[in-house]
Amino acid sequence: MSTETVNTGTTALPLAPGDWALDPLHSSVGFVIRHLGISKVRGRFNDFTAALRVGETLADVEVTATVEIASIDTGNADRDAHVKQEDMLDVARRPRMTFRSTAITGSGEDWTMAGDLTIGDVTRPITFAVEFDGVREFPGTGSRHAGFEATGELSRKEFGLGFGAGMLGDTVKIQLDMQFVEPSS
């Protein structure tokens, strides 16, 4: 299927309309948080889904995602087990995070995506800076993949996650690398 240009009024979005499927083998959901104010702990979530629906206009583009919080991986199994407990993330009460875009603006390589992030029973607005890395054909299969990098920040306290004050920073930086596969005709 050839890529069509979606008319966004003044901006052309070079993605074919339809439901683009996540390529999970070439995507990641990562985060960074300060520890003791002197270093950073990096981690990722290994179990997530995302969907990209491209409509006829930019206003019709929608991104949704779900992250299973129990899939946290900081590279230290003992730390991960502790972070999942009731006194911290409490994955029994907060099993997942969900995101739904509310507005996407920009052009070329630089975009902004606003949306609602829900962790447990708390929903707050969040904004991501998005870099569109282009669309390329996957060798051998002919499928076309679109690549995106997105970064944003959240305040743990705003989501009721104020545990570890003094030990852990309030700001969590989110780093997303996503590939989506163009819908087939």
Residue 7 has pLDDT above 70, yes or no: no
Percent of the chain with pLDDT over 90: 62
pLDDT exceeds cutoff 60 at 10: no
Q: Cβ of 121: how many Cβ atoms within 10 Å?
A: 9
d(CA 52, CA 45) in angstroms, rounded, equals: 19
Q: What pLDDT shows up at residue 87?
A: 85
With contact defined as beta carbons under 8 Å apart, do 144 and 182 qualify?
yes
pLDDT score at 11: 54
Confidence (pLDDT) at 134: 86
Report pLDDT digits (tens) over 48-57: 999 999 988 8
Instruction: Give the single-character DSSP code of 74.
Output: -
What is the per-residue DSSP string for 128-173? EEEEEEEEEEPTTT--EEEEEEEEEEEETGGGT--TTBTTEEEEEE
The structure's pTM equals: 0.87
The Cα 12–Cα 56 span in angstroms is 11
The string of pLDDT tens digits covering residues 103-155 is 999 877 789 999 999 999 999 999 999 998 888 988 888 889 999 999 999 99
Q: Are strands 62-68 and 96-107 parallel, antiparallel or unpaired?
A: antiparallel
Please report which helix (H) or strand (E) contains residue 79, including its range.
Answer: helix 77-83
- State the average pLDDT over residues 75-99: 92
Q: Across all residues in the chain, what is the average pLDDT?
A: 88
pLDDT classification of 180: cutoffs 50, 70, 90: very high
- Summarize the confidence of residues 65-70 as an average pLDDT: 96
| Rounded mean pLDDT, 5-20 | 67
In the chain, % of residues over pLDDT 70: 92
